[in-house]
Structure 1
Amino acid sequence: MKNRKLSNLWESLNSSFWFVPSVMVFLALALSFVTIGIDQNQKTALIGELGWAYTLGPSGSRAILSAIASSMMSVATTAFSITIVALQLASSQFGPRLLRNFMQDRGNQIVLGTFISTFVYSLMVLRTINGLEKHEFVPHLAVTCGIGLAIASIGVLIYFIHHSASSIQVDHVIKLVGIELDNAIDRLFPETIGTSKAKNKQQDNPSEISADIPANFDRDARPVSAMNGGYIQSINNHELMQIASEHNLLLQIQQRPG
């Protein structure tokens, strides 16, 4: 039962809109510490010889990182606001499923995480730039990585626009509904639950299966009431089968999840 709860918790976290962006933010923080640490240890002396590396002074580095940080938040706010409005208009025709699919879509989560991670990374690097003459410090490697993240964010933005436009099309919505239906059937009605012994008995003696259910089952059966109020979210069929086998019980589930 504990494994089932942990599985449900992991599935809930994995499908939430904030989990993946939060993980990406922590990765961006770690990347900023690593790149800044390399710059502080003066292990990037050869970076100035690279043509693609950023090697300008403190003022230019501040300007670039400030522009990246401000543009990331502006782009994220504008893009997601417009998309939410479009989804609300489309959901009036196709139902509220579109909004749920948008929240659980892994691509949208990665897009949001990319924008926020680039913003956080730029702020973390920006705070370390020192323009004083005696203590001048510019993390060239960290600034170069920030520019790379900004370029990657542009590509992610293009993907997000295309993905959002495709997600509100009728064929895509129907495809997602079909996939969710197949997954729900496989999860709630697995073919292997209690069928192996039944198939063997049916091959040996077809009438033996019906004889396993006593005629006075409805009269002698005892109900098992729930300890708390609410609704059934899921049924652990494997554990119920194990309990029934260990105690030689015959169980009848009268309610379905939902």
Structure 2
Amino acid sequence: MNNIRLRQFWDALHSSYWFLPGLMVVAAIALAFTMLTLDRTVGFEDWSLIYTGGPDGAREVLSAIAGSMVSVAATAFSITIVALQLAAANFGPRLLRNFMQDTGNQIVLGTFIATFIYCLLVLRTIYGEDYNPFVPHLSVTFSIVLAVLSIGVLIYFIHHASTIIQASYVIKSVSQDFHQAIDRLFPERIGISPPPEEEHRESLPENFANQSSPIAASRNGYLQAIDAEKLMKIACKHNLLLYIKTRPGKFVIEDSILLMAYPSKRVNHKLSKEINKAFILNRERTEHQDVEFPVNQLVEIAVRALSPGINDPFTAIRCIDRLGAGFCYLVQRKFPSPYRYDRDRQLRIIAEPVTFESIVDAAFNPIRQYSRSDASVSIRLLEAIAHIADYTINPEYLTVLRRHADMIARGAQEGLPEPQDRQDLQQRYHNVIAALEVV
């Protein structure tokens, strides 16, 4: 299993509420048997800090801890479900995956369940017959330690549950995903990138359209990732040129074209199935190879905040600030070439490129459309564009930013009823244009 599939598998485990608690339950079982073994082989009755009561008292202690852990675990689970419902209503269902990946909640649930299992396993070993009574003093003592630890975890959970549903926390978390995606994807390697002097030198063969064969998708789903190493090995093994027609983040429809393979005479059904395995499809998007996904999440929070039912422009402004910071970081990175070469410098793959324009469009267009009648949000969009312009001298990037500044100004001029608001926004627009021209 290669790195891409391992990461996808780990993301699936990390997004579940059973994996980490399950590991903690297994650890609790091992701990219970270890403590019981020590109790049977080593005498702890005379230790000052060890529980020294009889079998009836030990049963009561363990029963009380086990019963309370079940009740607290049920309460914690209910609070978690409520938090997920609030998150889906306020921030959008696409952000539920972020909450499901929260390690703190998983550890809390695992602690309560593991303590319950531990107490249950120790409780079954206590017997008080006159001829051979057995009380696992060390094991009972450790159950009390686990109960005290669980109280601390419960206090942490109350604080944590009230923190993770705050808008500032959610926006910061998604913004960090955006920065991490930038670090991971720019530049993204599929094979070996060409040196600068060879970039864009290659072009499709003249007979590519007639001699290439389409490879269709075998099922529906969001393209989460492309197994770059596998695809390059296939291209080299069969001496192919592969022109990818989609990219991670796009929804793939069954029988739609994934890529064009050249020449077509080397393509068969077996090869088509092998190529399909390099495209990892699933029911939802992830940010692993899709830099637009965290952008869409921030935009969704902003758009929901601007809806008439919520009407919270300050949350939208926070999202714009985070988007602006992310783009300031992005414009300093080199976008990868769509051309991918093997070790012999032969063109093997042409990838669907991710462009700065497409990412900016995904970020600013929805917010601009929903904020035409909100002066504060429109002004903050213009300020974000001015900040981004301070970090780049790329003329293509500046052209894209200028286009968005023009659209924001036009939309706000039509949507703002107050003349003074229109005047303020026009002044900010002139400042942005000056910043773009100076750069």
TM range (shorter): 0.7 to 0.9
* Residue aligning to 1:130: 127
* Residue aligning to 1:119: 116
Instruction: Give 3-state SS (helix, strand or coil) of 2:131's partner.
Output: coil
Q: TM-score, normalised by structure 1?
A: 0.85
2:49 aligned partner, one-letter code: W
Is 2:241 aligned against 1:211? Answer: no
| 1:210-241 Cα distance to aligned partner (Å, 9 max, x none) | 33433443343221123x32223321122222
Q: Distance in 2 between matches of 1:139 and 1:126?
A: 9
Higher strand fraction (1 or 2): 2
Q: TM-score, normalised by structure 2?
A: 0.52
Cα 1:33–1:162 shift into 2, 3 Å: same
Cα 1:121–1:66 shift into 2, 3 Å: same
Higher helix fraction (1 or 2): 1
Report the CA distance between 1:80 and its aligned residue.
2.4
Is 2:11 aligned against 1:8? Answer: no
| 1:62-105 Cα distance to aligned partner (Å, 9 max, x none) | 11100100000111111221342244234312112453323221
Q: Distance in 1 between matches of 2:27 and 2:85?
A: 32
Q: Which moved more, 1:120-129 or 1:89-98?
A: 89-98
Contact 2:25 2:117 in 1 (8 A): yes
Is 2:66 aligned against 1:69? Answer: yes
Contact 1:98 1:168 in 2 (8 A): no
Report the CA distance between 1:166 and its aligned residue.
1.0
Contact 1:4 1:236 in 2 (8 A): yes
Q: Distance in 2 between matches of 1:250 and 1:118?
A: 57
Q: How does 1:108-187 map to 2 (within 5 A)?
A: 108-185=105-182
Is 2:56 aligned against 1:59? Answer: yes
Q: How does 1:18-37 map to 2 (within 5 A)?
A: 18-37=18-37
Instruction: Give 3-state SS (helix, strand or coil) of 1:149's partner.
Output: helix
1:38 aligned partner, one-letter code: L
Cα 1:236–1:246 shift into 2, 3 Å: same
* Residue aligning to 1:222: 213
User: Residue 93 of structure 1 is aligned with which of 69, 90, 94?
Assistant: 90
Report the CA distance between 1:198 and its aligned residue.
1.0
Instruction: Give 3-state SS (helix, strand or coil) of 1:210's partner.
Output: coil
Instruction: Give 3-state SS (helix, strand or coil) of 2:216's partner.
Output: coil
Instruction: Give 3-state SS (helix, strand or coil) of 1:157's partner.
Output: helix
Report the CA distance between 1:7 and its aligned residue.
4.3
* Residue aligning to 2:330: none
Cα 1:103–1:192 shift into 2, 3 Å: closer
Identical-pair percentage = 52
Instruction: Give 3-state SS (helix, strand or coil) of 1:49's partner.
Output: coil
Instruction: Give 3-state SS (helix, strand or coil) of 1:223's partner.
Output: strand
* Residue aligning to 1:252: 243
Report the CA distance between 1:196 and its aligned residue.
4.6
Q: Distance in 1 between matches of 2:213 and 2:227?
A: 20
Q: Distance in 1 between matches of 2:8 and 2:202?
A: 37
Contact 2:32 2:121 in 1 (8 A): yes
Ranges in structure 1 where 5+ consecutive residues have no aligned partner: none
Contact 1:69 1:122 in 2 (8 A): yes
Cα 1:29–1:72 shift into 2, 3 Å: same
Ranges in structure 2 where 5+ consecutive residues have no aligned partner: 250-439
Q: Which moved more, 1:76-85 or 1:22-31?
A: 76-85
Contact 1:68 1:119 in 2 (8 A): yes
2:229 aligned partner, one-letter code: H
Q: Which moved more, 1:99-108 or 1:189-198?
A: 189-198
Report the CA distance between 1:154 and its aligned residue.
0.8
Is 2:82 aligned against 1:48? Answer: no
